[in-house]
Amino acid sequence: MDAAEPCLRRGGMTSSDPVLNLARRCENSLAGLALILMAWLPVVEILLRLSLNTGIPASANYVQNLTLWVGFIGAMLAARDEGHLTFLLGREIVPPAARAYSAAFTALVSTAVAASLSWASLEFVRADLQSPVVIGEWLPTWAVQAVLPLSFAVMAVRFAIKPETIRDRSIALLGIPIAAGTGWLLPAGVPEVLWTGLFALLLAAVLGTPIFIILGGVTLLLLRMEGTTAAAIPVETYRLVVSPSIPAIPLFTLAGYVLAEGGASRRLVRVFRAWFGWLPGGLAVVVTLLCAFLTTFTGASGVTILAVGGLLLPVLVDSGYRKGFGIGLLTGTGSIGLLFPPSLAVILYGVVAHVSILDLFKAGILPGLLLVTAVSVLGVRESWRNPDSQVPFAMREALAALWEAKWELMIPVLVLGSLFGGYGTLIETAAMTAVYALVVEVVIHRELTVQRDVPAVLVKCLTLLGGVFAILGVALGLANYLVDAEVPMNAADWFQRHVESRLVFLMALNCFLIIVGCLLDIFSAITIVVPLIQPISQAFGVDPLHLAVIFLLNMQLGYLTPPVGLDLFFASYRFGAPLGEVFRHTLPFFLAMVIVLLLVTYVPWLALALV
């Protein structure tokens, strides 16, 4: 595996063991069926409502609870296929002679934490058995929640058997008795246990242990110090995942993957190039718009770079743009659609911060357009250096390209019309988009086949979702611990005593959030950091919607900031360029985004004008 390969690896190799292959196919099928069922239930509900004025009883509850299964079966797939997010250092900093020991240590830590989370989840399920709640008058919630202890147990086993030698696997398996001893035998409130555990987790993080293991381990240690049951983690996980808006995340992600894996990118490039390529910098603007479109569905996770980078870089180079500029543009625009509907980060922020998601989308429109404009200006400047980059306009080609891409061009109309026109809820809009994308790519264009391509797309989508939901679950447990410990209120009091100027606070907030973006992925950052900064920002009179836009713009910069800038690693892997070179090419776009961030921070009107 290439050393530059990013943290979302999908390399699970097919085993020669027929039993393991059968188990793998069953696991893939179960996860894919849950995701497809999530997409179809709301669509069938809409059709029944329109045609027969009826519906499916408790269908919304089914979809919300299916999200838990989709997320945590996906987490099992991610553990199998090395798809969990890491801090990206891993093997690269370990001398070759020590890599076996490093792998054994990270497997030991991962196994111990996953086993502890499995036991905590089992306690949660057992507690729910005492007073079960029924979904749709027949399905007990404990049956849905049972996926939590099962998935963590399977992940613990997979982490334990990941090392190549029997010796290293034996070391990893010691994580199970270590978890048992820490959870049951050691008394609460022992500082030595806390500091030893935190040091081990820090070392494991540097060596490439999944982020959800690190966050989960920290939360388990803090809860143990307080003498609080670890079942608080799965309780918060279940509460978040089955909330009314969260199911939109897997559904929009599915739509994004279907479009990326089908021929949508090629058709959209053709239509934008034909209509706008004649303008100075037109092709760079086209690339910016296309990446923004795809990123709104894939969550700014670098998937856009992997999906269309190989297609778009040769197009830019063939049109006269420098290769370095093309790499910088594609890396910089890998997260540029973060503020536009139906951005997954905006949806999650609204759920965590208890802010209207539709208002958040409105607040992000002007800053998002400003961001696209800033990047486009750099494209125009580049085209002046290379006059050959413009494409002559041809009406016949423009109309042909428009006709070929007509189905994909209807997707923004479908999403925006449904969301802002009040024709469907957020979940219904997400489900319609996912089903529409499947129909377009499978039935109309026939770019994807049901037997071969669709299952592969589902597995890729589920692997990403599994990595995200595993982080969300444990991160929310950590965030709630910090809130219960009154960390946000104490921080707010400190800032009020020591910082008098609102402008100084905003500058400090930006510096803090850029550091957060360097170290955490956007989903765990939203879950952990937003509850911390909300009380402080309220003390300084910052509007919640303005705070949201500032936060998301900073997190977008985090994708381009070493050492954990995900898009930098994805671009390094996709384009075969050293990480330092990728960052150098991306720096002009990074600086343009910083200017936009400062404008939005100190001119709140940009975020609040449309609300």
CA–CA separation, 246 vs 345, rounded Å? 11
> What stretches of 131-244 show up as alpha helix (H) in DSSP?
141-145, 147-160, 166-173, 175-180, 191-206, 211-226, 232-241
pLDDT of 224 higher than 90: no
Residue 3 covered by a domain: no
Please check whether residues 233 and 267 belong to one and the same domain.
no
Q: Given pLDDT bands bounded at 50, 70 and 90, which one contains residue 556?
A: confident
User: In sequence order, what E strands does 270-415 have?
Assistant: none
Residues 338-357: tens digit of each pLDDT? 899 888 899 999 999 999 99
Question: What is the SS3 assignment for 51-84?
Answer: HHCCCCCCHHHHHHHHHHHHHHHHHHHHHHCCCC
Please check whether residues 260 and 225 belong to one and the same domain.
no
Q: Which of 464, 579, 576, 465 is nearest to 7 (CA)?
A: 464
Residue 494 CB neighbour total at 10 angstroms: 11
> What stretches of 386-394 show up as alpha helix (H) in DSSP?
none
Residue 268 covered by a domain: yes
Could you tell me the end-to-end alpha-carbon distance of the chain, in angstroms, rounded to an integer?
A: 48
Please check whether residues 429 and 302 belong to one and the same domain.
yes
Nearby residues of 138 by Cβ (< 8 Å), 6 or more positions away: none
CB 469 within 8 A of CB 523: no
Q: Given pLDDT bands bounded at 50, 70 and 90, which one contains residue 179?
A: confident
pLDDT of 186 higher than 80: no
Residue 179 covered by a domain: yes
Last residue of a domain, one of 426, 445, 461: 461
- Token pair, residue 8, equals 């979302």
- Token pair, residue 405, equals 């891409």
Residue 8 covered by a domain: no
C-alpha 411: how far from its chain's center? 21
CA–CA separation, 432 vs 281, rounded Å? 35
Please check whether residues 448 and 509 belong to one and the same domain.
no
CB 230 within 8 A of CB 199: no
Share of the chain above pLDDT 90, in %: 44
CA–CA separation, 506 vs 379, rounded Å? 30
Long-range contacts of 530-534 (CB under 8 A, 24+ apart): 530/349, 530/352, 530/353, 530/479, 531/352, 531/353, 531/479, 531/480, 531/482, 531/483, 531/488, 532/479, 532/482, 532/487, 532/488, 532/491, 533/488, 533/509, 534/353, 534/488
Please check whether residues 381 and 504 belong to one and the same domain.
no
Residue 104 covered by a domain: yes
Bridge partners of 561, per DSSP, are: none
Residue 470 covered by a domain: no
Q: Which of 338, 342, 333, 209 is nearest to 283 (CA)?
A: 333
Bridge partners of 135, per DSSP, are: 139
User: 17 phi and psi, to 5 degrees?
Assistant: -80, 120
pLDDT of residue 123: 93
pLDDT of residue 154: 96
Q: Which domain holds residue 24?
A: 18-241
pLDDT of 580 higher than 90: no
Residues 282-333: tens digit of each pLDDT? 888 888 888 888 888 766 556 778 777 777 888 788 777 888 999 999 998 8
Q: Which of 530, 528, 534, 533 is nearest to 475 (CA)?
A: 528
Average pLDDT value over all residues in the chain: 86
CA–CA separation, 45 vs 50, rounded Å? 9
- Token pair, residue 139, equals 């399905």
pLDDT of residue 270: 85
Q: Which of 393, 400, 441, 470 is nearest to 154 (CA)?
A: 470
Strands 134-135 and 139-140: antiparallel
Please check whether residues 563 and 418 belong to one and the same domain.
no
Last residue of a domain, one of 241, 265, 293: 241
Q: Given pLDDT bands bounded at 50, 70 and 90, which one contains residue 278?
A: confident
Bridge partners of 139, per DSSP, are: 135
pLDDT of 415 higher than 70: yes
pLDDT of 53 higher than 60: yes
Q: What pTM value is reported for the model?
A: 0.87
Is cis: bond before 563, omega within 30 of 0?
yes
Counting the structural domains of the chain, the total is: 3
Q: Given pLDDT bands bounded at 50, 70 and 90, which one contains residue 16?
A: low
pLDDT of residue 496: 79
Please check whether residues 144 and 219 belong to one and the same domain.
yes
- Token pair, residue 364, equals 């992000």
Residues 57-84: tens digit of each pLDDT? 888 899 999 999 999 999 999 999 988 8
Last residue of a domain, one of 461, 476, 507: 461
Residue 554 covered by a domain: yes
pLDDT of 3 higher than 50: no
pLDDT of residue 33: 94
CB 225 within 8 A of CB 55: no
Given its phi and psi angles, is residue 53 left (phi above 0), alpha (psi -120 to 50 degrees) or beta? left
Q: Given pLDDT bands bounded at 50, 70 and 90, which one contains residue 112?
A: very high
Residue 475 covered by a domain: no
Please check whether residues 350 and 234 belong to one and the same domain.
no
Q: Given pLDDT bands bounded at 50, 70 and 90, which one contains residue 386?
A: low
Residue 101 CB neighbour total at 10 angstroms: 14
CA–CA separation, 212 vs 235, rounded Å? 16
Q: Which of 245, 214, 264 is nearest to 109 (CA)?
A: 214
pLDDT of residue 15: 57
Q: Which of 476, 488, 458 is nearest to 528 (CA)?
A: 476
CB 600 within 8 A of CB 367: yes
CA angle, residues 589, 411, 263, in degrees to nearest 5? 75
pLDDT of residue 390: 65
pLDDT of 573 higher than 50: yes
Q: Given pLDDT bands bounded at 50, 70 and 90, which one contains residue 514?
A: confident
Bridge partners of 140, per DSSP, are: 134
Please check whether residues 341 and 217 belong to one and the same domain.
no
pLDDT of 127 higher than 70: yes
Please check whether residues 259 and 237 belong to one and the same domain.
no
Please check whether residues 408 and 453 belong to one and the same domain.
yes
Most confident of 136-140, 343-347, 438-442, 530-534: 438-442
Please check whether residues 57 and 119 belong to one and the same domain.
yes
CA–CA separation, 296 vs 345, rounded Å? 9
pLDDT of residue 372: 92
